[in-house]
């Protein structure tokens, strides 16, 4: 009798864990993002001319720099989520902060990997401890430490609170990576946008290459806005589903 009486309750709880319909806005945004990324590839690989100094390898910059700004967007979401969680203790803000870190870290790794691929034929090395490269690596490691922190604290409330504070403070590594090329004259890393000592010396001048500006700005908008926002939305949706499954497991174990 007890087993039979529990069946309606278990069926009701199970129904709550079913995947909710994908929001129309997420469907549209995903389609737009996929088409935009494809268009960005066309702009980078076909539309833009080949750089006369660096050759075909220069095309990687159409993804290298935009992926960094995509990470920046995601990490800003982490700051917003952290601040709002500390203010409201609402779990949705912690979920946003976590999604921002995971997506931002993934895009940071894309930035580091594409930079190394570019550096091999241009600088004749996969890696050099240039101030900009070092700061970018420290940034990625800082956000990897965020994930380790979350996994190392068992108390849920304490974990979310410490993670929120860590995520807010970690944005300093992103700001440092953005500014270091302007304040450290010894860096050999080029500044693609705006004047810099490196560009003044003629080591990274792309203005003469047809289509560079259009291809770079197009991919910058795509990777800095559409890609991180779409991926974060999907990650939040996944986390919400995971939380519902965990709640059902706890309810079953408590019987």
92-112 pLDDT tens trace: 999 999 999 999 999 999 999
Q: Is residue 176 part of a domain?
A: yes
> pLDDT for 6-61, tens place per residue?
444 444 444 444 557 889 999 999 999 999 999 999 999 998 888 877 888 889 98
Cα(116)–Cα(132) distance, integer angstroms:
13
Distance set, CA 160 to CA 9, 21, 149, 168 (Å) = 31, 28, 10, 12
The structural domain count of the chain equals 1
- List Cβ neighbours of 98 (8 Å cut-off, separation of 6 or more): 78, 81, 150, 163, 235, 239
Residues 74/103, Cβ–Cβ less than 8 Å: yes
Residue 65 domain flag: yes
SS3 55: strand
Residue 103 inside a domain? The answer is yes
- pLDDT of 17 reads 46
Domain for residue 246, yes or no? yes
Domain-located, residue 248: yes
Domain range holding 218? 25-191+206-253
Cβ–Cβ < 8 Å for 138, 72: no
Q: Please give the structure tokens belonging to residue 214.
A: 């259009």
Q: Specify burial of residue 77 (Cβ count, 10 A radius: 0-12, 13-18, 19+).
A: buried
Distance CA 197, CA 158 (A): 46
Q: Can you tell me the distance from the alpha carbon of 191 to that of 194, in angstroms, rounded to the nearest whole number?
A: 7
Residue 7 lies in a domain: no
- Whether 9 is in a domain gets the answer no
pTM: 0.84
- Does 143 fall in a domain? yes
């Amino acid at each position: 009798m007890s087993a039979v009486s529990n069946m309606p309750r278990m069926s009701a709880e199970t129904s709550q864990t079913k995947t909710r319909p994908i929001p129309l806005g997420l469907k549209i945004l995903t389609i737009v993002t996929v088409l935009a990324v494809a268009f960005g590839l066309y702009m980078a690989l076909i539309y833009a001319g080949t750089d006369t100094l660096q050759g075909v390898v220069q095309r990687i910059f159409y993804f290298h720099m935009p992926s960094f700004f995509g990470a920046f967007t995601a990490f800003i979401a982490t700051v917003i989520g952290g601040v709002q969680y500390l203010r409201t203790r609402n779990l949705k803000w912690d979920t946003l902060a976590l999604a921002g870190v995971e997506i931002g870290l993934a895009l940071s790794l894309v930035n580091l990997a594409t930079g190394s691929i570019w550096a091999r034929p241009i600088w004749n090395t996969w890696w050099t401890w240039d101030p900009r490269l070092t700061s970018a690596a420290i940034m990625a490691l800082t956000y990897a430490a965020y994930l380790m922190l979350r996994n190392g604290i068992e108390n849920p409330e304490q974990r979310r609170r410490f993670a929120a504070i860590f995520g807010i403070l970690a944005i300093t590594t992103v700001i440092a990576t953005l500014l270091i090329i302007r304040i450290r004259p010894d860096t050999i890393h080029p500044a693609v946008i705006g004047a810099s000592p490196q560009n003044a010396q003629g080591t990274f001048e792309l203005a003469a290459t047809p289509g560079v500006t259009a291809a770079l700005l197009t991919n910058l908008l795509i990777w800095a806005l559409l890609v991180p926002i779409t991926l974060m939305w999907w990650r939040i949706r996944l986390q919400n589903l995971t939380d519902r499954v965990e709640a059902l497991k706890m309810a079953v174990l408590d019987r």
